[in-house]
Structure 1
Amino acid sequence: MNVTIGNPAAAPRPLGPYSQVARVELADGGALLYLSGQIGDGEGIAAQTHGVFATLTALLDAHGATLADIINIRTFLTDMDDLPGYAAVRRTYLTGTPPTSTTVAVPRLFRPEALIEVEVVAALPPLADRN
């Protein structure tokens, strides 16, 4: 198994001393991408959710993946009352079959202004199967 961990140059820089993507190459030529939790800037859950998905898109794009390749999404909200706003924005980005999903309420995130953090796992098919 070959694992590459790092921060794609084309994506926003991480906010701390961590890697944003771990890529696991599979024997069939496919790959799994594990993305660290991402937060967004702005006021309110909608703005922050748009920011999260913009960063996720950039990280996935750097590895030849799209939001459609997401197979698992984990969402951390500081206020579960923000769930409807988050869900409405999420639906504009994840338009196909929804990935497996976990959403939990947490008392706070590593940035005091952060209302949401999202981490995902994406699966890339073997090279021969990619369009």
Structure 2
Amino acid sequence: MKVTLDNPAGAPQPANAYYSQVARVEHADGSALLFVSGQVAEGATVAEQSRGIFEALGALLGAHGATLADVVNIRTYLTDISRLHEYGAVRREFLTGTAPTSMTFEAPRLFKPDARIEIEVVAAVPAGR
């Protein structure tokens, strides 16, 4: 097993902290798991922030040969769980295939004061990508 920690060029860079955006865990058969750090985005609403986050996730996955269709697990942190429907509508725009496993939490605050939502994912990448 080989582990690579990465902050891919052209993808969102870590915000105000020292961490890696992607951990790529490669298996002997050439397949890999991608663990993508939690993402936040600018915007006035949960929907706007969600859209920006999914775009950032797509860029981070793309840098490792994956797409949002490869996502097998998603964790979402909302500061107001009553806004879940707004996030859900955007999520369905970006995750159009079989739904990944999922957990959604209400968190009183996120690290960025104006962040209303943070999302992290795990993706399974077939050998050769």
TM-score (norm 2): 0.97
Which residue does 1:56 correspond to in 2? 57
SS in 1 for 2:114: coil
CA distance in 2, matches of 1:51, 1:60: 14
Which residue does 1:13 correspond to in 2? 13
Which residue does 1:69 correspond to in 2? 70
Task: State the identity %.
Answer: 62
SS in 1 for 2:24: strand
Aligned pair count reads 128
SS in 2 for 1:11: coil
Per-residue Cα deviation, 1:63-121 (whole angstroms, up to 9, x for no partner): 00000000000000000011000000000000000000000101100011000000000
**TM-aligned CA deviation for residue 40 of structure 1:** 1.0
Q: How does 1:49-128 map to 2 (within 5 A)?
A: 49-127=50-128
Stretches of structure 1 lacking an aligned partner (at least 5 in a row)? none
SS in 1 for 2:42: coil
Stretches of structure 2 lacking an aligned partner (at least 5 in a row)? none
SS in 1 for 2:104: strand
Which residue does 1:28 correspond to in 2? 29
| CA RMSD in angstroms, aligned pairs only | 0.8
CA distance in 1, matches of 2:92, 2:78: 17
TM-score (norm 1): 0.95
SS in 2 for 1:57: helix
SS in 2 for 1:4: strand
Which residue does 1:3 correspond to in 2? 3
CA distance in 1, matches of 2:2, 2:95: 29
SS in 2 for 1:104: strand
Q: Structure 1 stretches (4+) deviating beyond 6 angstroms?
A: none
| Residue identity opposite 1:22 in structure 2 | A
